[in-house]
Each structure stands twice: as structure tokens, then as C-alpha cells.
Amino acid sequence: MKVVIVGGVAAGPKAASKIIRLNPEADVTIVEKDKYLSYAGCGLPYYVSGEVKEQKELMCTPVGVVRDPVFFRKVKNVHVLTETEAMEIDRKGKRLRIKQLADHQEKWLDYDKLVLATGAHPIMPPLPGHDLENIFTLHGVHDAEAIKSLLAEDKARDVVIIGGGLIGVEITEALTHKGCRVTIVEKFPQIFRMLDWEIAKLVAQHMETKGVKIITDTEVKAFKGQGEVKEVVTDQGTLPADMVIMAVGVRPQIKLAQDAGLDIGEWKAIKVNAQMRTSDPDIYAAGDCVESIDRLTGKSCYMPMGSTANKHGRVAANNICGHEDSFPGVLGSTICKVFDFSVARTGLTESAAKEMGREVVTVMAPAPDKAHFMSNAKPLLLKLVVDKENRKLLGAQATGPGDADKRLDVVAMALMSGWTVDQLANADLCYAPPYAPAMDNIITAANVARNKLDGYMEGVTAREVHQMLAEKKEFIFLDVRSPAEYEEVRLPGSTLIPLGALRGRLKELPADTEIIAFCKISLRGYEAALILKAAGYQNVRVMDGGVVMWPYEKIK
């Protein structure tokens, strides 16, 4: 069996390796336009920062062997043609026309099965001045090397990043640590549009404490400079720039498939079935060039991720070799490092769920990620989104210095299993003080959701409270923390009555006025609400997330 694979970064090498394992007699050839193979693109920001010391580390196996053409030939028995471009698919003749970039020689490769793993290309808007020097994307090793070179020569003091998504934010830390003055320009109202606004706001506030300037609701109009970029012109003014990194997203590479007449989906990516087969039964596609299915909605989506690409490649290989396999879809599970914060999400955001017409209950649950008495315990800020009708989990988001990955991974598995918050609340998770609280963060969040669903707690979001304060609505914004906490930091318009003093000071609170209780994380706020309700107060709510998750200015 002859298999030709176009693309040698993630999905392609994974498919090739699995095919050889299943069918050692197969004749497998990888065609790759670049000279670099099977590299970890998600590691490029860490190569720029210097955490990854050498370029080859991004292309090595876990034991340090470089995955180059010699490695693929000797270890995998896979032929690799680097610096070779796939030009045309002859579906009827089952052959692929290729061109060697060094000498422009062309030839045809016959195939029994063809795998398209052509990936995606970064979006570069055709703005005036976009072709000036020192304007980069961060989509490959070449860009990373160029950025490192400028940093080493100390020629990039002012850096403007266009786009506040994953790529833009991940490179920010590396540049800041190198001493750059970094400004992120985002055309939408928030960075990290994969998150709900309040979690994104908390991340932005943290980045600003690290010296990063974030400008939202701002559109770039042009770049200026003599040969090299020196200014970024926006609709809000002009920014100095020695370097610009375009990070406005990627588009799937579909020209080869499109020219061959293969079906293209609504996201302008290659349409495949669960077996990763295209509209041609002898052609498969995998990785960032294809659409996936959203497991919660059943609709097609485009979520390019290295982890997904590797799964795609394996599924395609299994089916090519006659071993039935299928890819069930994605949840959009994503995590990244932002200085000392983790930022993670899985499933639906609140805004996405509401756009679908779902009535949801949300929970903001901040807490230490380990037993509070452990010296290495760190805050973790969680948000859950739950379907009010059937109590099923819809999604989760997290940020903070605490361990977010394992909590979001638990939610991802719960989403795949169709769990309700009641099932999640009783999940048998590992416990020891160095690793988690006795009631793990995600279990506590699930119990808060249950309290809301069962009518034991009525919550109100920080956004709603902020709006009420702005409109000067009559209510008591009741802070039940200690006086010391209140003196250190407090929220505007709040009234302090410590929880321990509340029962003795109930007469200070009018029974006919709404009371919104809160504390540092709103656990004491919930206790205060129960005390007030037991005393006959009817109009009592608890502000989700407390002071820790208040995404607006605080009084210090």
C-alpha cells in the first residue's frame, strides 16, 4: 500500500508513524514544504523566551533524538521530502504532483491513499505598510528565529502585538521578560474571546500588573516606517513600535483540496467525516486544515490545536489500515500560561450557551487549589456554566496562579459523559492536603450550582452589581469580612458588618431594602444570606466570586 502524506508538522507525522506500526510493509512518503519536521509549534513562545534553549529541542523525541528525515527513514521507515511543495492532486489517476523548491523540478507520486495535513496559515491583513521589516507572525521556526535575533540585538524595545488571542498572549510573557514594552491591540471589547468577559477581564488586569498595556475596541489601520516598522496607526491614535507581531488568527490551508474538488465546509476548512475521510474515499485530511464537530452542539466548528491534530492523524491512520476508528469531536478545551496565571476553558461559555437559547446558571467559585493551610496553596478562580433545565454541565473556565489544568480536565471528562452538577459534586477525586482541598475546587463549584438550582442561594453577578451602583439603585452592598480585610481593600458603595457581628446588628439593616452580601470569596457572604433569611429578610442575594473575582476597580 502506497500512502502519501502532505504536511510534516503534527497530524502528518502522527499518521505516518501509526500507519507503519500497523502495516510495516506500507510505503509511506511525507511531503513537507518547509525544511523543519514534526516540531512543537506551541513551544515557540518558550523558545523565544529562552526557556527552551535550543531550536532542536522543539523537534526532538522525549529522549532527545531529532525528528529529521534521517530519523523518519531509519526509525520509522518513512520517506520524507522536505522543501517540497504539493502542487496538484490527480484524483482520477491517484497521483500527486510535487515540486522541489531548490531546483523547481517536478514529478508525480502515485498513491493508494492520500492524507492532507496541510495545516493553517496566519492571517496577515493587507494593511498599508504590512510589508515593512520587523512585522512578524509566530507561525513557524523562521519567525521565532527572526524575533529572537531582534531581541538579542536589543532592537525591539517597543513591541505591539495585534490580537489578544492565544498566540498574542502567549508571546507577551516572553517579550516582557526580555525587557520589551509590550502593547496588545485588540479590535474587540476583550482579549481572550474564548472566555466570558469577566474571566478575560481578570486575566487582562493581571497582565497589566506585569507592565503590559492592553487596548481593546481598537482597530489597526496602517503601519509606518522607513524600511522597518516604527509606528502602528490605529483608529484611537499612533503607537511606537520597533517590532509588530500579527496574531489575529489563522486560516486553514485548503487550496490543494479545493483545486481537487474536495468538499469544503462552512468554516472554509476541509470537510471530513468521523473517520477523517474527505469526499473522496481515498483521500483523508487531518489537523488544522479540517473542520471538527462540537461535541456539545453537534455542529461543525474550527478549533485548530496541536493536540487535536495528533488525534486526527491517528484516527486517519487506523482507518487507512482497515482498523475502524472515529473522531468524536472537540470541546474547545484550551489552556495557556500567562505569567504566573493559568488560563483555561472547556465546553460552552455563558455567552455561547445563551446565544443557543439555553437558560443557564453560572457559578463563580474562587478558592485555594490545595488545603488552605499548605504553604504552596494558590488561588484558583473558577466559573461553571450549567443548563438550568436539566442540570447538566455546559462548560467551565478558570484562571489564577492555582492548578487549573486538572480541574478543567475533570470538567472535560464530565462533559464527554453528559454529567449533571449532581454527579460532578460526588466525583471520587484524589485528596491529600498537598494536592487539593478535602472538597476539591470543582466539587465546591458544583455544589454552589446545586444550591442555586435548588433555591438555597440566589446569586447576583459582579456585572449586575456594578450596574446597580452606576444607576444608584437602592440596596445594601453588605461586606461581611473582617475590619482588617476591609481596610486593606474594599469595593465601592459597600457597608461593613463582619459575619461574627451580623446577628447582633440586624437592626441596622432595613427589612424592606435589598441586601447583596459578599466577602473575599463569598462563602461568608452565603452564610450571611442564610442568617438574614432566617431572621425574616426576604430580598437577599449573594454576589458571586466576592472581592477576589470583582473585575472592576477596587478601593485600596
User: What CATH number corresponds to the domain at position 34?
Assistant: 3.50.50.60
Cell 521530502, located at residue: 81
| CATH classification at residue 420 | 3.30.390.30
C-alpha cell at 197: 468577559
pLDDT at residue 40, rounded to an integer: 77
CATH of residue 501: 3.40.250.10
pLDDT at 64: 80
Residue 35 is assigned to a structural domain of this protein: yes
| Strand arrangement, sheet containing 95-100 | 84-90, 95-100, 106-110
Helix (H) or strand (E) holding 230: none
Q: Is residue 343 within 8 Å of residue 192, measured between CB atoms?
A: yes
Side chain identity at residue 344, one-letter code: A
Residue 144: inside a domain: yes
Residue 553 lies in a domain: no
Neighbour count for residue 422 (Cβ, 10 Å): 15
Residue 326 placed within a domain? no
Q: 514 with 438, same domain?
A: no
Residues 430 and 500 in one domain: no
Q: Are residues 13 and 85 both part of a single domain?
A: yes
Residue 327 covered by a domain: no
Look at residue 56 and give its three-state secondary structure: helix
For the chain, list residues with pLDDT below 50. Answer: none
| Shared domain check, 354 and 413 | yes
CA dihedral sign of residues 341, 346, 352, 358: negative
Domain limit, last residue, from 412, 437, 453: 453
State residue 424's pLDDT score.
98
Please check whether residues 300 and 269 belong to one and the same domain: yes
Residues 441 and 475 in one domain: no
> Residue 185 forms beta bridges with which residues?
162, 215
Q: How far is Cα 440 from Cα 427, in angstroms, rounded to an integer? A: 10
Together in a domain, 297 and 272: yes
Overall number of domains in the chain: 4
Q: Which domain holds residue 159?
A: 135-248
Asked if residue 129 belongs to a domain, the reply is no
N-to-C CA span, the chain: 70
Indicate whether 31 and 10 sit together in one domain: yes
pLDDT at 78: 94
Domain boundary among 248, 275, 305: 248
From 214, 248, 282, the end of a domain falls on: 248
**Same domain, residue pair 50 and 9:** yes
Query: In terms of domains, do 19 and 30 share one?
Result: yes
Q: Residue 61: its pLDDT value, please?
A: 81
Asked if 349 and 430 sit in the same domain, the reply is yes
Catalytic sites, residue numbers: 42
The reply to whether 431 and 487 lie within a common domain is: no
The DSSP string of 233-268 is EETTEEEE-SEEEE-S-EEE--HHHHHTT--B-TTS
Q: What is the DSSP letter of 228?
A: B
Nearest alpha-carbon partner for 59 in 86, 80, 90:
80
Helix/strand/coil (H/E/C) assignment for every residue in 404-445: CHHHHHHHHHHHHCCCEHHHHHCCCCCCCCCCCCCCCHHHHH
Considering the domain boundaries, does residue 552 fall inside one?
no
pTM: 0.92
448 in Cβ contact with 525 (< 8 Å): no
Distance (Å, whole) CA 184 – CA 147: 17
Q: Is 329 a member of any domain? A: no
pLDDT at res. 35 = 87
Q: Is 361 helix (H, G, I), strand (E, B) or coil?
A: strand
